[in-house]
Amino acid sequence: MTRFGYTLAILASTVLASACTDEVPTEDNTPPPGSTSGNEDTTFDHDNDHISPWELLDRLTKEGPPRYTSRVHSCSKVRVRTLGTVLTQLGVNAANTTALSAGQLYTSGVNALGQANYANRIRENIGITTSGASREFDIFAAAAPEIIAAFGNAQSTLMQRCPGATLFDANNTCRPEGITCLIGSPATARHLDYCNLTVSTASTIDAGKRLAVAALLAAAYTCE
């Protein structure tokens, strides 16, 4: 018998011996409650309601397959150069070197924003990262005073692009045409409600206006 034949014989006899034994393990190997499993109080309660095949087919017909919807509904960040153009069009001095100004935060934060590193053959990061989103929010917050001032300057780049638009009226109420000019898409009732709520609940009216501008821009340019 060859070496391979001996190996098969040993394996076969081992299997038969284990199958014929009457010994059954009696030790309880179940871990104590709560050691490796959770409940509705300690884990996220997923909605496990079953969906019928017809409901699934209807959803796929309307939305498309996952490989399609994951691309269509995905959100990439604003390119670094595009963000600079947006700031300039809103009346912000993107070349400002004053510490903590919107321009300084923009020019000094290109690495956090994912700018391309051509010397090391690294393309620009098109995904939204925590550091990139944080820096972008800081830039919008710092840019808010300049943007509000630009709405009051008829010679600003912003007002030349949106002539006659007003962001806040005399009663400090948000205006739809101003929000439309600010975010680049038609303002909705929810935009107005959110803007007015932010202005009215802030510590001061001026602080509320700055927060409203920063929040609207952050939402518009992070797909929220």
Helix (H) or strand (E) holding 106: helix 102-108
pLDDT tens sequence across 110-144: 889 889 888 889 898 887 888 888 999 999 999 99
Q: Evaluate whether 136 touches 143 at the Cβ level (below 8 Å).
A: no
Q: Is the pTM of this model over 0.85?
A: no
Q: Which of 24-38, 66-80, 189-203 has the lowest mean pLDDT?
A: 24-38
pLDDT tens sequence across 1-20: 555 454 445 545 554 544 44
Structure tokens at 57: 């087919």
Kindly list the domain boundaries of the chain, sorted by start residue: 80-220
Residues, the chain, total? 224
Q: Evaluate whether 113 touches 132 at the Cβ level (below 8 Å).
A: yes
Q: Evaluate whether 158 touches 166 at the Cβ level (below 8 Å).
A: no
CA pair distance 194, 196, nearest whole angstrom: 6
- CB within 8 Å of 7: residues ≥ 6 apart: none
